[in-house]
Every structure is written in structure tokens, then in C-alpha cells.
Amino acid sequence: MDAPQRLDQWRWWSGTSAEWYENGPFETREQAVAELCGEAGYVVEALPPGQDVHFSAEDLISAQYFEDNESFDFDHGEPDRCGPEAAIKAADAELQQLLDAWCEKHAGTFLRGNLFGGTRNEERIEAVPTVANAGEA
């Protein structure tokens, strides 16, 4: 998903993994790095979710089949679907429309974490050796 370029809303976040940014938002990269307190982690520049939260019907359907083992045929590489291809595509499109409408209505409830409207400049930050353990290397 391409994020709209709202340059005034980009903020920095940091966290212990690239999947969850628990610190932020910050005005500068340096503030985000400082919040890691010398530990290894990640920083990213991100847009707030706003109206840009998006859930994929295709991903939702695929994940459901993998979660419900009784509905998934492990002898085939794709989730089981029956019916004409046009009907399946229409059903998927309808689900996507429902998800899009829900996201538009409730996007403001996603305030933190990994549901950003867009990201850029993600970077792994290495741990900073402390004086106490610097001689151990």
C-alpha cells in the first residue's frame, strides 16, 4: 500500500523488534534511538494510521484456512474454494469492500504499535556497549 505523502505527519518510533514499535512517536530519529537505552532494537519513521489502515480480504481468507485445519486440504497448495471463479472473485471483492468500510469508520481506534499508515527509513540499531561489559569482548 502506498502511503500518501503527508510530510508534516511523519514521526519516529522505536522498539525491540521490527514488528512492534512500543516507543513513540518522536520528532527525531535521535529521540527514538535514545528511548532504546543502549539496547539493540529498531527505529522507523511512520505516518499515523488515520484513514490509511487497511486489511486484506485475501490475507484474511488465506489465514483462516491455515488456522482451521479441518477446512484446509494439505495436499493442495491453496485454500479450498468451490463454485465458479467469478462467484469466488465477487465474494472476495464484497469482503474487501466490507473491510475497507470498517477501516474507514474505525481507523481512529488504531493509535499505536505496528499499524502505521506508511513507513520509511526502518533501521536496525545495534546495542551500545557499556563500560561495565566493554572489557569482556
Condensed to tens digits (0 to 9), the pLDDT of residues 79-125 reads 567 889 999 999 999 999 998 898 888 877 765 545 677 789 999 99
At residue 4, does pLDDT exceed 50?
no
How many CB atoms sit inside 10 A of residue 1's CB? 8
Q: Which tens digit of pLDDT belongs to each residue from 7-33?
A: 578 999 999 998 888 999 999 999 999
* 1: Cα separation from own chain's centroid: 11
Reply yes or no on whether the pLDDT at 55 is more than 60.
yes
The pLDDT value recorded for residue 1 is 39
Mean pLDDT of all residues in 66-70:
55
More confident residue, 67 or 87: 87
Taking the model in full, what pTM does it have? Answer: 0.49
Average per-residue pLDDT for the chain: 79
Mean pLDDT of 39-44: 96
- Whether 135 shows a pLDDT value over 80: the answer reads no
Across residues 61-78, what is the average pLDDT?
61
CB 110 within 8 A of CB 49: yes
Sign of CA dihedral 110, 111, 113, 117: positive
Q: Which is more confident, 90 or 75? A: 90
Burial class (CB in 10 A: 0-12, 13-18, 19+), 117: buried
Q: Given a cut of 70, is residue 50 above it in pLDDT?
A: no
